[in-house]
Structure 1
Amino acid sequence: MPAAPRRKGRPRIDLRRLGRAALLGPAARDRLPDAIGHVVEAHRAHHPDADLEPLRRAYLLAESSHRGQMRKSGEPYITHPLAVTLILAELGAETTTLTASLLHDTVEDTDVTLDQVGAEFGEEVRYLVDGVTKLEKVDYGAAAEPETFRKMLLATGNDVRVMSIKLADRLHNMRTLGVMRREKQVRIAQVTRDVLIPLAERLGVQVLKTELEDLVFAVLHPEEYERTRELIAENAARPDDPLAATADRVRAVLREAGIAAEVLIRPRHFLSVHRVSRKRGRLRGTDFGRLLVLVAEDADCYAVLGELHTCLTPVVSEFKDFIATPKFNLYQSLHTAVVLPAEETDDRAGDSPDRQIVEVLIRTHQMHKVAEAGVIALGNPYAAPAEEQNAADGERTDPTRPGWLNRLLKWQEAAPDTDTFWSSLREDLAQDREITVFRRDGGTLTLPEGATCVDAAYAQYGEDAHACLGARVNGRLVTLGMVLRDGDTVQLLMGQDAASAPSREWLEHAHTPAARLAIQRWLAAHPAPEETDRTPGTLPSPPLFRPTAVNPARRPAPPEGESPARANAVTDLPGAAVRLAGCCTPVPPDEVTGFAVRGGAVTVHRVECAAVARMKSAGRAEVGVRWGDTTECRVTLVAESFGRPHLLADLTEAIALQGISIVSATVAPPAQQRVRHTYTLQLPDAARLPAVMRAMREVPGVYDVRRAQARAADA
């Protein structure tokens, strides 16, 4: 395995020395053990008044319980919790987190119990230790790892410090991964890439995220890693550094403007350099790092930006204001980029006509602390006064329970099995950007980038979104599959009928696990009839006007004026569920017949439906049906039209003016300037159908409206 990358400015701690100190045994009572000296020093740098007694007692319990245990590297096991705790202490974690970190493996690997931890250190520490304790393989088998992550996520929902400890734990394990078999290195690195790194990004812990990325890069792509290492070494050996020259110039400009600022060169980490090299090809000196400008106040950030754009040419497309609109993971900064004058570039030899571009990050010292350590920088996030928490619209601004975590916790409850949870989790975490859309009622929804109106419906209404009929985005009627953009205003059109149901096609438009799982659960609970009984791509409509399956020998004479339903000598099917065929959507007083389908249900067709003739020729037995007393019905209409702007909106308005509810609407891609619209409508009275069809035909551009009917060739 290639050597693990080192981060500049962070000295490595000699774990062997820590191990020797641990083996010397407990220190005298009330005296801090030498082995935790580095932890205490780092902790006091962030929390000078912290009570260190819990750390002393936690170390003594961890050391005594792990005594005699060794890591695969040959070091005493206590060096691992010490290293994990040091990582967290350097990032500014408060005492409770560090106490739990020292104890995080005791319940899993020693005779220490959770009750003992709780009695000694309190319920908070007990909860954190329990949250990171793995589930036993002997009990869960292959599901142990995903179910452990599910357990940790649930615990993180109540206390985000659980995941902070897990991330630091994984970082130290990745640093020492070289002693493992190659196949185990790869497996651990893949889970780290797919799950832990995205979680570190979402919690804003960039320091852990970037080092984890480099360690995973080294394991999974050793050749690319080595080439990148060579590129970084070659750049470091160059005599002229354009970033250093630019930093000096920026310092002089800000000093002359009277702005107190610290200007630093922030080297790119290994994976970042690799990505830039793949994007830009040949790398230049300015591609290996960025400038970081740190100031005292928010207003100073914009003052620095003004000075930079005055003295150097800005790249307008590269400007981003994450102070006014912070990222979902607490990150705040101004991002800009400036073009270096030709005399300051390293292209003076004429090998490239392009000038070099320097990326600049501008933030306050507090923003920088949060950008590096994320939620860990909050100290004890649960010590804030309750009035500071905002629970508007169910999307708390509380950074310890961000929107993405709320959504993840909700959909994981619907995952029917471990495999579905594990695959959905990886897919959810792969969505690394979020958008905010506005609801017509004044609320907001935070969704992953790429989300559609279907996702918005399930995010807002949960399983009630099954009744969604359509949506308006920024005032315009759109299909439910439309991809939303940041800042869009969404109005979801909901049906009033409890029998409204999602279409199988919605799965193609569902981007979030929450939406997909809800739709899949409904489809599993309402199995479709045999494929031969419906047009491909359609679902049967729920029985809104309830035709009844009957035995022809017992069937009463039909009311005057109603055609009797055909029937052969068939078995009586009392209580059978009745569904209307999506291929012909019969309505009263259509002459109808039925066929038994899988699950004991009966599908009702118009007798002239092409599917009826085909099923009869195949020897399928008919079931006698008749219309019930109610005249409420559901029907599917097809409108053929010439293509023109706003036609969908005009057709929808014509239907609405008739007082008819739209269950669903789809538009086929235009062909030769002609468009086919398919509407499923709920009619309060079947007698109103001719008026609705007439109103649709009167819409300019529409040249035909007909009942949906499967063609013989389709049957």
Structure 2
Amino acid sequence: MSAEATSPGAPIRRRGRPRIDLRRIGRAALLGPVSRDRLPDALAHVAEAHRAHHPDADLAVLQRAYLLAESSHRGQMRKSGEPYITHPLAVTLILAQLGAETTTLTASLLHDTVEDTEVTLDQVREQFGEEVCYLVDGVTKLEKVDYGAAAEPETFRKMLVATGDDVRVMSIKLADRLHNMRTLGVMRPEKQARIANVTRDVLIPLAERLGVQALKTELEDLVFAILHPEEYARTSAVIAAAADGPDPLTAIAGNVASVLREAGIPSEVLVRPRHFVSVHRVRIKRGELRGSDFGRVLVLVGEDADCYAVLGELHTCFTPVISEFKDFIAAPKFNLYESLHTAVVGPDGEVAEVLIRTHRMHKVAEAGVIALGNPYAADGTAQTAEPADGEGTDGEGTEGERADPTRPGWLSRLLQWQQSASDPDTFWTSLRADLAQDREITVFRTDGGTLGLPAGASCVDAAYAQHADAAHTCIGARVNGRLATLSTVLKDGDTVQPLLAEDAASGPSPDWLDHARTPAARIAITGWLEAHPQAADSGQPGVPAGREPQSAPPFGPGAPRARTASAVVEQPDAAVRLAGCCTPVPSDEVTGFTVRGGAAVTVHRLRCPAVARMEAVGRAQVAVSWGDEQACRVTLVAESFGRPRLLADLTEAIAGADAAVISATVEPPSEQRVRHTYTLRLPDAAGLPALMRAMREVPGVYDVSRAQHPAGAL
């Protein structure tokens, strides 16, 4: 887990987390072990930070862990010249300052022993128990000698799987990476850049999703300094220049404190400086920075109700900027974050952003899952390290997100798709793509559940998120009760119902990949397509090019019997598919073509244009005849003039003819004309003429015909 020495830019100091002199800790560590009846000097800062959050914590186990770590790492040095023990000490101090409980700190002290020393997991288990052993194993890297170039992605896969059972694994990893980033300056520039890139693409998004803002913001600044040194220097100069100028935020904070004091609302009002990356983003967004853009006013209160009382006073006594108001208490973020956000105009016209939260909310906003204390209490429920007035950390929200903060929904989804990514490169690329999604939307399922999806997700993503591999048979969706194509982009709050075909043999089309945003969907679609290479002409919606659709199970209702041209003898072993390009029905004159080396036969109408194309390239026809059953599937095209309720009236006419809608597409209107394409299942082919008459009688419809071309994939 090791990387080394001074950071390229001065780290940002934060209230409540003073930087500790690790060289002094290193000197204390070099003194060697101490008597077991007193705490080692090198562990004193950790103990002090830990007791600040957990006054009754038993420090004896930390002392034993430190003594084992110090003795096993003795003689090892970091590239900075410091004793190696300073690294696990620093990682443990970071976690202690954020409020981690004793088990996490014990594992943190030992997190490199199994990887870098002769200590074994069995020794850790014997001396410190199963929990500590699991955490240490979870953050232990896989050996390059065994995995080669796949070592890094497979190590992250291992950590994510371990995090799925215990989020404290990732807490230790994040603190480990923060200290390594702080001390990265002695590395070669190219190695600094590689580590910074992985930190940006993987670790920072994970810190965001786990709600550990204190680690996320400092990691962002350190990555910014390495990957964009010129922009970092420019931003640093802007911040330094602002420090010498007027400070409107302090004045506004003073006014806010006075207003709340007069209103009798106990509160703490602070000015919270923005970190480097935040200032950089504001500068890009607004161009010239105002004096109030370098920080925000933070108001801390005791109760949830006080937050709204503060909001009311501020909006009464100051001019509010309504567009900046956000209520993350009523609708918390998926990463445990709760706050009220607003902005007010000060006496001199300066606009100040204001954050309003309880002390408990502030602790969780800073430390995320680390603030849960021991998230695996004896009763199986997550608990905060410092519960305030009966307030808990869980609550209602996206299914699986806040109900179990130790197993958030985004993590469950990530663990699901990673199992399908057997190739390390696919996993690594998909992981980065998944974590690059910086915003989530919540869509509702018709069964009452919810799905958390990245912004820009489509009905394809919803289908795979809800139905996994069964979504291969998806033929469309209903969004907010209306038929929609699978390419439809979902919005926050939409209700989505993926529609699955009864035909389990159908599968996705390659163009589904153009609409899939989630790795789960992309990996599932790609896997299916690779397992079903192109073998024949394209067919109906939901079937990729090269795969012939099956309109009904082979030898089921409406299935034709295939006969070889040379023998005119039935071939019961051949699977039969009805071509989606012409959707033949009983009584149509039909012919067939073998696919997949003769394992299947695709049936076309005799006048289908595809028949002429296949004959032109030398494909031999196979004689087919209809079975006794008369149920069938057919694709109809309705040409009409656009008008309100046209789709509803057509659907009603279809239902009145006892036909079931398998899929439907509506092309964009052109010159007031609309083209509807329906794939329908009829109980009896004899009812097809009556169905087509009923559709033609719908006002605005001027023609209904059988499809003579491949239906567009939904």
Cα shift at 1:417: 1.7
Q: Which residue of 2 aligns with 1:24?
A: 31
**1:650-703, Cα deviation, whole Å (9 max, x unpaired):** 323322333322222222222222222222222333222222222222222221
1:501–1:507 CA distance, 2 compared to 1 (3 A): same
Question: Which whole-Å CA distance do the structure 1 matches of 2:691 and 2:472 have between them?
Answer: 25
| Cα distance per residue 1:249-275 (max 9 Å; x no partner) | 111111111111111001110001001
In the aligned structure 1, how far is the partner of 2:395 from the partner of 2:325? 30
Distance across 2 between alignment mates of 1:6 and 1:678: 60
Q: 1:395 to 1:279 in 2, by over 3 A?
A: closer
The residue number in structure 1 matching 2:656 is 657
Give the stretch that moved more between structures: 250-259 or 610-619.
610-619
Q: Counterparts of 1:494 and 1:619 in 2: how far apart (Å)?
A: 36
TM-score normalised by structure 2 residue count: 0.91
CA distance in 2, matches of 1:650, 1:30: 85
Question: Match of 2:576?
Answer: 578
AA paired with 1:585? Answer: T
Structure 1 equivalent of residue 415 of structure 2: 409
Looking at structure 1, the residues matched to 331 and 540 of structure 2 have their Cα atoms a distance apart, in angstroms, of 49
Amino acid at match of 1:575: D
Matched, 1:681 2:676: no
Counterparts in 2 of 1:146-165, with a 5 A limit?
146-165=153-172
For 1:236-275, what aligned pairs fall within 5 Å after superposition?
236-238=243-245, 240-275=246-281
Distance 1:319 1:543, change over 3 A: same
User: 2 CA distance for matches of 1:409 and 1:310?
Assistant: 48
The offset of 1:233, in angstroms, is: 0.3
Match of 1:142 among 129, 146, 149: 149
Q: 1:210 to 1:379 in 2, by over 3 A?
A: same
The aligned counterpart of 2:565 is 552
1:585-600 correspondence runs (5 A): 585-598=583-596, 600=598
- Contact 1:660–1:682, Cα closer than 8 Å, also in 2: yes
Q: Secondary structure of 1:447's partner?
A: strand
**Equivalents in 2 of 1:498, 1:533: separation in Å?**
15
Q: Provide the rounded CA distance (Å) in 2 between the counterparts of 1:276 and 1:196.
A: 23
Say which SS state the counterpart of residue 178 (structure 1) adopts.
coil
Q: Secondary structure of 1:511's match?
A: coil
1:495 & 1:413 partners in 2: Cα distance? 26
Contact 1:477–1:649 (8 Å) recurs in 2: no
Structure-1 separation of matches of 2:625 and 2:79: 76
> Where does residue 367 of structure 1 map in the other structure?
361
Preserved CA contact (<8 Å) 1:189 1:216: yes
The structure-2 alpha-carbon separation of the partners of 1:688 and 1:72, relative to structure 1 and needing over 3 Å to count, comes to farther
Counterpart-to-counterpart distance in 1, 2:644 and 2:484: 13
Asked whether the 8 Å contact 1:314–1:339 carries over to 2, the reply is yes
Residue aligned with 2:185, SS: helix
Cα–Cα, structure 1 residues 377 and 318, in superposed 2: closer, same or farther, change >3 Å?
same
> 1:4, 1:218 within 8 Å by CA — same for their partners in 2?
no
Rounded Cα–Cα distance in structure 1 between residues aligned with 2:177 and 2:97: 16
Distance 1:97 1:298 in 2: 30
Amino acid at match of 1:608: R
| Alignment gaps of 5+ in structure 2 | 1-6, 383-393, 553-557
> Structure 1's 440 and 95: CA in aligned 2 closer, same or farther, altered over 3 A?
same
Deviations 1:575-606 (A, max 9, x none): 34333333222222222222334554433222
Q: For 1:124, which of 118, 121, 131 is the aligned residue? A: 131
User: What's the CA shift for 1:309?
Assistant: 0.6
Is the contact between residue 11 and residue 182 of structure 2 (CA under 8 Å) also seen in structure 1? no
The 5-angstrom pairing of residues 421-436 of structure 1 reads: 421-436=427-442
Cα distance in 2, alignment partners of residues 701 and 165 from structure 1: 66
Give the secondary structure class of the aligned counterpart of 1:676.
strand
SS state at 2:469 partner:
helix
* Equivalent-residue separation in structure 1 for 2:519 and 2:645 (angstroms): 33
**Structure 2 counterpart of 1:315, from 287, 302, 321:** 321
> Quick one: distance in 2 between partners of 1:339 and 1:465?
51
Residue 559 of structure 1: aligned partner: none
Q: How far is the alpha carbon of 1:634 from its aligned partner?
A: 2.1
Over the aligned positions, Cα root-mean-square deviation in angstroms equals 2.4
Q: Are 1:48 and 2:67 matched, yes or no?
A: no
What is the TM-score with the length of structure 1 in the denominator?
0.91
Any gaps of 5 or more consecutive residues in structure 1? 345-354, 557-571
**1:79 aligns to what?**
86
CA shift, 1:36, in A, is 0.9
CA, structure 1 residues 51+534, in 2 after alignment: closer, same or farther (shift >3 Å)?
closer
CA displacement, residues 541-566 of structure 1 (integer Å, 9 cap, x when unaligned)? 2251443442223315xxxxxxxxxx
Write the letter of the residue equivalent to 2:549: S
Residues 365 and 107 of structure 1: CA distance in aligned 2, closer, same or farther (over 3 Å): same
2:300 match: 294
Q: Does 1:420 align with 2:458?
A: no
Q: 1:613-628 maps to which residues of 2 (within 5 A)?
A: 613-628=612-627
The 5 A counterparts of 1:32-43 are 32-43=39-50
Cα drift, residue 537 of structure 1: 7.1
- Structure 2 distance, partners of 1:390, 1:684, is 49
Aligned to 2:390: none
Q: Is the 8 A contact 2:458 2:490 kept in 1?
A: yes
One-letter identity of the residue aligned with 2:377: A
Report how far residue 384 of structure 1 moved.
6.3
Distance 1:676 1:615 in 2: 28
Amino acid at match of 2:152: E
1:93 aligns with 2:89: no
Q: 1:700 to 1:51 in 2, by over 3 A?
A: same
Structure 1 residues 430 and 358, CA, compared in 2 at 3 Å: closer, same or farther?
Answer: same
**In structure 1, C-alpha distance between the alignment counterparts of 2:298 and 2:438, rounded to whole Å:** 24
Measured after TM superposition, the shift of residue 406 of structure 1 is 1.2
- Identity score, percent: 75
Q: Any idea what the Cα deviations from partners look like across 1:368-422, whole Å, max 9, x if unmatched?
A: 0000000001110111634788999666611111111111111111224222211
Deviations 1:503-539 (A, max 9, x none): 4443333222222323333333333434588999766
SS at match of 2:448: coil
Mapped contact 2:538–2:544 kept (Cα < 8 A): no
Deviating more after overlay: 684-693 vs 210-219: 684-693
Name the CA distance, whole Å, in 2 between partners of 1:420 and 1:652. Answer: 42
Q: 2: distance between equivalents of 1:16 and 1:599?
A: 73
Alignment-derived partner of residue 610 in structure 2: 611
